[in-house]
Structure 1
């Protein structure tokens, strides 16, 4: 495979995604594994993790936490070696927005799921209130990270992401959003973390699509009629 010059993604792991991984899970496939931040946490829980990345640097950095690390472009679906396995959990954390035609990948993901397996998806929300405000002002400036990351080729709303999963054979069993309250820098000085969390839960109850920065879904294979 010809190596593509891509940036290396890294953080401390996506806590929102990791919380959705059942403690009973034994095998996990992390598609778009970055430098292995999620895999590190999952390995510490005793889970076996395979990872896929388009970046050779990411695969090398993630290697200590992976059983298998595969260099592969998910635009082409899943590699043949992976399709020979079945996984308890498949993760796509901020991956699908980088894929122009995700249908093939989603089809391959279904093929490696057991009836009880779950598919966890995290996406940036293009209709977050800050993004809406910029769009109202006529701005759409690509950035090096965040919702308007210059490597994103698709943008999703809370409802359109559910539709994408449904159209491709998945049933969303949990749909949620994560984020922070507006004017966080101000409220941080006059409120507790617990009160801010309570307030955010109230806001997302009013509109997940407006206040959520990250879209988060847990899905299973859609039952056949």
Structure 2
């Protein structure tokens, strides 16, 4: 099986939380676009113009078929489309994979329109599952999730806010997605609302991921 077919089988969905935050008729830059599924949905359903960039050449082969413009790019070294201005820049599950996310946040400021926004998704390392594991001296990397073995940086809600504020961004809103297998709530649909309410009340403890909406300080 070639790599393009592997991506087709693996990448069958996109981040619905990010999708819901983007309005119609926007010019969007998706950094870490993977195979372009998010952008494809934005183009089809919200009439957006979508640019994408990803480190993977194989992913971009598919993204080129879905997005208006897409390039292979190492975000540790450069940012693409420097002559363009965007309404929305998406950083979905990207910053934690970089050695120097601060540098990227500095560079992409110039790509935002005056009222442009950044939508970021960052895992919550202070999630109750991780805290519970640490009580027993465990810090086991996994293939995915908060302790994904490819993560280079880890953030709590507090340090995540500082990351943006120290680089000249104003945080407009922070949403959170629930996730805590410790309580086994995933197995009981009747308890889904309890899980969501706990996440809303104590996001620093019960959130699996934060979705951050930010813009440049004027």
TM-score when normalising by structure 2: 0.89
Note if 1:139 corresponds to 2:138: yes
Instruction: Say if 1:83 and 1:108, in contact at 8 Å, map to a contact too.
Output: no
Aligned position for 1:32: 32
Shift of 1:103: 2.0
Aligned residue among 179, 204, 209 for 1:214: 209
The runs of 5 or more residues in structure 1 that have no matched partner are 1-6
CA offsets 1:111-133 (integer angstroms, 9 cap, x no match): 11112111000011111111111
| Matched ranges for 1:120-199 at <5 A | 120-180=119-179, 182-188=183-189, 191=190, 196-197=192-193, 199=194
Residues 14-49 of structure 1: CA deviation (Å, up to 9, x unaligned): 0111111122x4210000001112111111121111
Kindly state the Cα deviation for residue 180 of structure 1 after the two structures are TM-superposed: 4.2
1:76 and 1:171, CA in 2 relative to 1: closer, same or farther beyond 3 A? same
Aligned alpha-carbon RMSD (Å): 1.8
Do the aligned partners of 1:76 and 1:104 also contact (CA within 8 Å) in 2? no
Q: Give CA-to-partner distance per residue, 1:50-79, whole Å, 9 cap, x none.
A: 111000011012112211111111111313
Q: Give the number of equivalent residue pairs.
A: 208
Q: 1:179 to 1:204 in 2, by over 3 A?
A: closer
Encode CA deviations 1:157-190: one digit per residue, 9 max, x unaligned: 11111110011111010012102463224422xx
Q: Give secondary structure in 2 for the equivalent of 1:83.
A: coil
TM-score when scaled to structure 1? Answer: 0.86
Matched, 1:109 2:108: yes
Show CA shifts across 1:61-103 (max 9, x none).
2112211111111111313xx1100001000000000001112
| Residue 218 (structure 1) shift | 0.3
